[in-house]
Amino acid sequence: MAAKSKQVVDFAKIKSTMSDPYKKPVQVIDENGKIVDQELFDTFSDDELVTLMEKMVWERTLHEQTMNFSRQGRLGFYAPTYGEEASEMGIAHAMQKQDYLFPAYRDLPQLIQHGATVEQGYLWSKGHYLANQYNPEGTRSLFPQIIIGAQYVQTAGAALGIKKNGEENTVAYAFTGDGGTSQGDFYEGINFASAFQAPAVFFVQNNGFAISVPRHKQTAAETLAQKGVASGVPATQVDGMDILATYLVAKEAREFAAAGNGPVLVETLTYRFGAHSSAGDDPSRYRTKDEEKPWFDRDPLIRLRKVLTDKKLWDQAKEDGLVEQYKGEFKEAMKNAEAAPEQKVTDFLKTTFETPTPNVQRDIEKYEAKESK
């Protein structure tokens, strides 16, 4: 009888340990508002802490007021951001004006923080072409991508352009959700950027669900960060309900990429407190209250509010005042968006090409004749 052959590769061990480097998300303050990394916490000034809290209050108020507008039938598509404030504002705070942003449809807050206006955000939701005409100073961003994951390919191309043009201290940012990592464009984007060592920072906002599909049904990977390994992209996880940790990781990821070291992949662990979109999906049909409760207990505003209140940097009166201020700004933005001129066929034709092609020019003339009647 032949002797049992020696095991050459322990695939079971490889499978059980491959996610180990990514299982310790970076965290500065926990869900109870307790500082768990004093050294990192001490890198923030009091003014910075207050600014980060103000940005989260801004985003939550934007969400609440925008949902009110949506329920009133005054907007088109809107993807709620309730619960993801720390992830989105932490990253946005690390961006610099010269960086390029390629947002997904849940990333209007970052787009606005990067230079677009709230009015443009509302016009985009209403499907108005003026939403994409950014301010004269130049907002380096594309409008939100609807195709899941496609912005990763766009970001890789922009990052390569940054490198070839010799732009210093500049990166291209991309956002997608957990479901986006199951798309082919996700892999192609990070692989292309890695192959050319282009300055891109890819963010995966893992909120647990791709509409109604839970993360564990999308992929067998224990973490989404580890998906960067196959393309040679360094990656990490961060507590996406902790704005301090998210900001620090996003800042270091940006610095690493901008220094010419190639792309980075960051998975933020966050949660979508409400529906996938204003179109009306019902989260209670695919997740339970028991599943939701631990995440609501991790509310990013509650934890930072506790820290700032303990330091006597924050109080309810200050927050209430900011909420009213922001509501007024958002109502004014909606008023302006609703005053935008009615769209015409020729508006779309004239903005398709910088110089209309002959066939498009003929269509412009045809529809101008109809519109003038």
Q: What distance in Å separates the CA atoms of residue 95 and residue 34, rounded to the nearest whole number?
A: 27
Handedness of CA 83, 265, 248, 98 (dihedral sign): negative
Q: What distance in Å separates the CA atoms of residue 353 and residue 59, rounded to the nearest whole number?
A: 35
Catalytic residue among 82, 129, 286, 367: 286
Q: What distance in Å separates the CA atoms of residue 370 and residue 234, rounded to the nearest whole number?
A: 57
Catalytic residue among 272, 298, 303, 305: 272
Token pair recorded at residue 89: 């504002």
Active site residue 272: yes
Catalytic residue among 93, 106, 128, 276: 276
Active site residue 286: yes
21 φ, ψ to 5°?
-65, -10
Handedness of CA 198, 203, 209, 212 (dihedral sign): negative
Residue 262 carries which DSSP code? Answer: -
Active site residue 276: yes
Q: Say if CB 177 and CB 183 are below 8 A apart.
A: no
27 φ, ψ to 5°?
-150, 140
Run of H or E residues at 237: strand 235-239
Token pair recorded at residue 264: 């980075």
Q: Say if CB 96 and CB 149 are below 8 A apart.
A: no
Token pair recorded at residue 130: 């003026």
Q: What distance in Å separates the CA atoms of residue 135 and residue 252, rounded to the nearest whole number?
A: 29
Cross-strand partners of 267:
204, 237
Active-site annotation, residues: 272, 276, 286
